[in-house]
Amino acid sequence: PIEAVRKGVEIIGSKVGDRINVKGVGTTGSGRYLIGDFVGADMVINEITAQATAAADIDNSVDTIFEIGGQDSKFISLEDGVIVDFEMNKVCAAGTGSFLEEQAERFDIKIEDFGDIALKAESPLNLGERCTVFMETNVYSHYQKGASIEDILGGLAYSITMNYINRVVGRKKIGKKIFFQGAVAFNRSVIAAFENYLGKEIIVPENHEVTGAIGAAIKVLENSHKKTKFRGFENISKVSYSHSSFECKGCPNRCEIKKISIKGQPSLFYGGRCEKYEKGDSKSSDIPDYFAERENFLLNSYEPKDNKGAKKVGIPYAMLTHEFYPFWNAFFTELGFDFVLSDKTNKKIINDGLQCSVAETCFPMKTTLGHVQNLLEKGVDYLFLPTTRDMPTKEKNIKGDRTGSYPCPFIQGTWSIVKSAINTGEVKILTPILNFSFKEYIKEKQLTKLGKELGRDRRSIKKAIRQAHLAQNKFYSSVKKRGKEVLSSLKDDEIAIVITSRSYNSCDRAISMDVPKKLRELGFKVIPIDYLPVDSIDLSKEWPNLYWEFGDRIMSAAEIIKKDRRLYPVYITNFGCGPDSFILQYFEREMDRPFLRLEVDEHSAGAGVITRCEAFIDSLMNVRNKKDFPPTQTKTKGKDAVFKKSQGRVIYIPYMGDGAVVLRSAFRSEGINAEMLYSDDETLELGRKYTLGKECYPFIITTGDIIKTLKHNDPKKVAFFMPQTYGPCRFGQ
């Protein structure tokens, strides 16, 4: 980006440089910090704030901004000219300008002509809003079948619209006055598609392709400086610089840092997963690192004996190890083993995990494979990959047919995923089934059995179990005690951020993109979820079947946050997380204030994470200053439906296997009319329209079947039969 900026400044300088006096300079965009240092910027502004500032300056009554650029897209909600909520696209590029440009090139059409051709479509194709790869296949298939270019391009215009509305906007409120900003707004067919799809007017402001730059300029003007840091047109255009790179050894990531050396000026840096070199204005020096504290509790709740030379039992520093390390460290050490923890997640471990993956799983699971490879390189004798069926939970969560509070199926089946992906050779894998929800059973049966398999006597096993529970309880009590101290120390007008996430997402610095540190560097206290008293919250009435333990903790945290105006949540999740495809929606419905949702995986870039964090801070500061914050929530709970045979309703049963046919026959034998739900193309279309697309395919199909049935029948004559499950599959939610 440096050469492009240098040439741009040179062109501007040659045309107007001798006629203007530069009072201030601002930079925005993903390379804003690097370019800010290069040109001598007085302010560095994130893209969300820049776009919103420009829109509010054009028309202070605008309340919604759709911004679609070449690589990303943004949704911004405004009130009285300030940001109150926002969202950005995740990994998918199907809703951005680059996707439209690629499709135009495929048909040898200039991108400038795309809109005019698409507007001639007589029957735009329904291409849905799937990912780029599937979309391209779909487009090519229609083209081979004889579809016209006009109908294909018209379908693509609708596709980018539906992708944006369903995947970026989601359930966020779209206001009355909508601005469409970014270069894609040049495409008249996309504007028309938005207007038809929403039934609302879409306003394209003047200079919409550079509203980000305009907003940055306005921000600089509002914060005028006595003397600008701008290096000058001539100095920038004539600057001589060279590129080099080096490996940063400050952490296990070993990032390759790009260095820009400029004669007579400090060097510039970029390319790291953190901002160690790029940003020098951290505000976090006096703010405690609560995540480092938690890690210290985790790793030091048990003082291990020196068992060097003994057989090595290795455990990946991933997934539930971020909670149960004290337990297993004490258990295996007391049994006389050398307990080995894999290295902290780093670039090599991530790459090894990605190379080993034979199926598409979440990012933490892929990383776990890299940790296993790391343990094999350490020469362990045993790999400990337990089947943790359920976790420690509140007593009220175990009742009736529900027999546990579960982690996700990937965690339960870690050992089988590892076996299918990695050749472990002669290393023995320990895969005991564990029920932490049942303290006596795990103690008397499962752990005793594991100890005997390892050749230990009953007395040694009993002692190891006792020490394991003591170590784990010490960890839990240390975290709770420190959390209580932190919450009580917050001032009445202070803002603190709670990371509402699973520990293996938030406490692994590499997997979380070090988001807690980034937020701390913006000047805020950042608190782990288990610092909150989540065990004190009873969700059994509101959420009687929330059988995922981490889901229970996250929703309990939501209740605590809503009662404390000082706390604001940041929700870290992963692309493809099954439980979060539901829990995140529950959390969003419950939350009464802005929260930041970050979807992190192996493709995530640090610049995008920083943009979201900075924009989030801007939005919550704006909302915090509102007089009516937090808003009063009123919940209306509908009555449970009651089925009466006399109503003459037809019971529709989703086809979940041949057993559904048996159920239909059973109802009919009792004189109740019952039918099967059969799926077709309309099912899929409706299912995708009324779900977020992150849910499992059976859920999407079942939702589509139900809506289709209601669409074609009198709702008063329809009933649906849905079996109840208790997990860990997400369909029970």
- Would you state the pLDDT for residue 130? 58
Instruction: Name the residue among 560, 346, 330 with its Cα closest to residue 461.
Output: 330
Cα–Cα distance for residue pair 460/452, rounded to 1 Å? 10
- Would you state the pLDDT for residue 94? 53
Is the predicted pLDDT of residue 630 greater than 80, yes or no? no
Listed range (26-40, 279-293, 704-718) with the worst mean pLDDT? 279-293
What band does 401 get if pLDDT is binned at 50, 70 and 90?
low
Looking at residues 100-105, what average pLDDT do you find?
A: 84
- Would you state the pLDDT for residue 668? 93
Selected residue with higher pLDDT from 672 and 253: 672
- Would you state the pLDDT for residue 279? 60
In the three-class reduction of DSSP (H, G, I as helix; E, B as strand; rest coil), residue 388 is classed as strand
- Would you state the pLDDT for residue 269? 79
Domains of the chain by residue range: 1-46+214-238, 60-204, 240-280, 292-477, 488-624, 645-732
Is the predicted pLDDT of residue 330 greater than 60, yes or no? yes
The rounded mean pLDDT for the chain is 87
Instruction: Name the residue among 606, 596, 602 with its Cα closest to residue 511.
Output: 602
- Would you state the pLDDT for residue 307? 84
- Would you state the pLDDT for residue 273? 64
What fold is seen in the domain 60-204?
Nucleotidyltransferase; domain 5 (3.30.420)
Of 540-554, 620-634, 661-675, give the range with the top mean pLDDT: 661-675
Residue-wise pLDDT for 282-328, tens only, equals 555 689 999 999 999 999 999 888 888 899 999 999 999 999 999 99
Q: By percentage, how much of the chain surpasses pLDDT 70?
A: 92
Is the predicted pLDDT of residue 626 greater than 70, yes or no? no
Looking at residues 193-211, what average pLDDT do you find?
A: 93
Beta bridge partners of 651: 674, 719
- Would you state the pLDDT for residue 87? 86
- Domain 488-624 matching CATH 3.30.750.24: the answer reads no
Helices (H) and strands (E) in the chain, counts: 27, 23
- Would you state the pLDDT for residue 441? 79
What band does 32 get if pLDDT is binned at 50, 70 and 90?
confident
Instruction: Name the residue among 297, 319, 283, 346 with its Cα closest to residue 517.
Output: 283
What element of type H or E holds 339? Answer: strand 338-341
CB-based contact 330:468 (threshold 8 Å): yes
- Give the full edge-to-edge strand order of the sheet including 178-181: 82-88, 73-79, 64-68, 178-181, 202-203
- Would you state the pLDDT for residue 102? 83
Cα–Cα distance for residue pair 555/61, rounded to 1 Å? 35
Looking at residues 152-167, what average pLDDT do you find?
A: 86
Residue-wise pLDDT for 62-99, tens only, equals 999 999 887 788 999 988 888 888 888 765 555 677 88
Cα–Cα distance for residue pair 223/208, rounded to 1 Å? 23
Cα–Cα distance for residue pair 180/164, rounded to 1 Å? 12
- Would you state the pLDDT for residue 605? 64
Looking at residues 372-400, what average pLDDT do you find?
A: 88
Cα–Cα distance for residue pair 67/58, rounded to 1 Å? 15
Residue-wise pLDDT for 425-470, tens only, equals 999 999 999 988 877 778 788 999 999 999 999 999 999 999 999 9
Give the sign of the dihedral formed by CA 708, CA 711, CA 712, CA 717. positive
Is the predicted pLDDT of residue 631 greater than 60, yes or no? no
Beta bridge partners of 203: 179
CB atoms within 10 A of CB 306: 8
In the three-class reduction of DSSP (H, G, I as helix; E, B as strand; rest coil), residue 278 is classed as coil
Is the predicted pLDDT of residue 41 greater than 60, yes or no? yes
Residues 6+ positions from 12 with CB-CB distance below 8 Å: 233
What band does 142 get if pLDDT is binned at 50, 70 and 90?
confident
The number of C-alpha atoms within 13 Å of 432 and in the hemisphere containing its C-beta is: 18
578 conformational bin, left if phi > 0, alpha if psi -120 to 50, beta if neither: alpha
Q: What are phi and psi of 130, to 5 degrees?
A: -75, 180
Is the predicted pLDDT of residue 274 greater than 80, yes or no? no
- DSSP strand E in 437-478: where? none
Is the predicted pLDDT of residue 127 greater than 70, yes or no? yes
Selected residue with higher pLDDT from 454 and 131: 454
